[in-house]
Structure 1
């Protein structure tokens, strides 16, 4: 994920210590079944990953999925990469005693050595990237996976037809309000997403995964504006 690919605004937000301190409060209010999504990711990865799997986590800042997966699978070790150093510091604090199973890299996926991982995830990240950068990132992830290894991606993805985009963005904000988020801030988040985040249709997301070289692209989660897939290197 590169700043020049439209994510500069959000990278700046993720570099603000005050925003990072509040980060964990946000996703459960905007993503239906957020904690269950982490558990589902762990289940999907474990279908093919060994008990001692080495797992690549792209967009690891904050450490929420790292903590969930590490607690589910005590034999797994992780390499997490994220360009926002402040978010990685937050991940360190969140992980606590789990840190001894996690290596954190400040940078992008290409800054991680291509060593043959047993599994990979990229959660709530790819929607910050345009088509070409998303494809490049997914290809870089695939290069780092052993043949047949599972990859789980989850991010904003919803129908983009006439009138559909605005309706789904309104639902995105309405769910946050129903979850206890301030209505004015929810509307601001909705407008920021509309202006700056590259949420595309699910069928286009699946096509990019296939173009990156992944096979057996399998949707396993859909909730309002969010989708998740498992795919295999």
Structure 2
């Protein structure tokens, strides 16, 4: 397996995390539900028989949200964590969706297909090391058909902005909903820098343009979480 686009926290998604991931994130369902609702609307132009790549598929939440409303879509889910993929495989099998899915352990660079109608990557980019972020977006761009759509959401704030402390205080409330112990604001800011690789919206949008995407369109924000969509231009 290639090491390109290695997550910034390679040991974070272990068996313990995989087993508890859905329960830990259940308190955030109003946020993820809204994000998935809007993602479905953004992807409305893709064909009824679309092929969709889910990068950082985790336990399969994005596939579940998209597959229900789009019965003709087929999915490839890729994730570097074998433990998370095993939970994903089990959940998809129980829901009768596994036949529409292919699961791959690895990163976007391990996906050979370059003809996807859409790529979805939610809550993933901030885990990619900063020196590999450009390659991450370029790899996604190469796997889309011309006019294919990319949808992504990540933790994205300007770490030099004067409102940073207030923004991080809001984020601390998100952390508490997930059952994590309260941390000082400065500790959360340090976490945003390392092990996460949080960057400003302006930097993210610039990286998308450099990768070859058309103008990124902001479509979602919930505290520090921001989402964009963009198209791979026609040839």
After TM superposition, the score normalised by the length of structure 1 is: 0.87
Tell me the alpha carbon deviations over residues 161-214 of structure 1, each in whole angstroms, 9 at most, x when there is no partner.
25443432222112333x363543798993644531111111111111111100
* Cross-structure match for 1:92: 89
Task: Say yes or no: does 1:62 pair with 2:55.
Answer: no
How has the CA–CA distance of structure 1 residues 128 and 31 changed in structure 2, closer, same or farther, with 3 Å as cutoff?
farther
Contact preservation (8 Å) 1:128, 1:197: yes
How many residue pairs get aligned? The number is 229
SS of the aligned residue for 2:40 comes to: helix
Deviates more, 1:36-45 or 1:157-166: 157-166
How has the CA–CA distance of structure 1 residues 171 and 198 changed in structure 2, closer, same or farther, with 3 Å as cutoff?
same
* Cross-structure match for 1:227: 226
- List gaps (5 residues or longer) in structure 1: none
SS of the aligned residue for 2:72 comes to: coil
Task: Say yes or no: does 1:41 pair with 2:39.
Answer: yes
Deviates more, 1:167-176 or 1:183-192: 183-192
After TM superposition, the score normalised by the length of structure 2 is: 0.87
- After superposition, residues 13-24 of structure 1 pair within 5 angstroms as 13-15=12-14, 17-24=15-22
Task: Say yes or no: does 1:159 pair with 2:158.
Answer: yes
- Matches of 2:166 and 2:106, distance apart in 1: 35
How has the CA–CA distance of structure 1 residues 25 and 194 changed in structure 2, closer, same or farther, with 3 Å as cutoff?
farther
How has the CA–CA distance of structure 1 residues 166 and 70 changed in structure 2, closer, same or farther, with 3 Å as cutoff?
same
Q: Hey, which of these two has a bigger chunk of helix by percent?
A: 1
Give runs of ≥4 in structure 1 deviating > 6 Å: 2-6, 185-189
SS of the aligned residue for 1:167 comes to: helix
- Matches of 2:143 and 2:99, distance apart in 1: 22
- Matches of 2:182 and 2:29, distance apart in 1: 18
Contact preservation (8 Å) 1:30, 1:176: no
* Cross-structure match for 1:77: 74
Instruction: Give the root-mean-square deviation of aligned CA atoms.
Output: 2.7
- List gaps (5 residues or longer) in structure 2: none
Task: Say yes or no: does 1:119 pair with 2:118.
Answer: yes
SS of the aligned residue for 2:215 comes to: strand
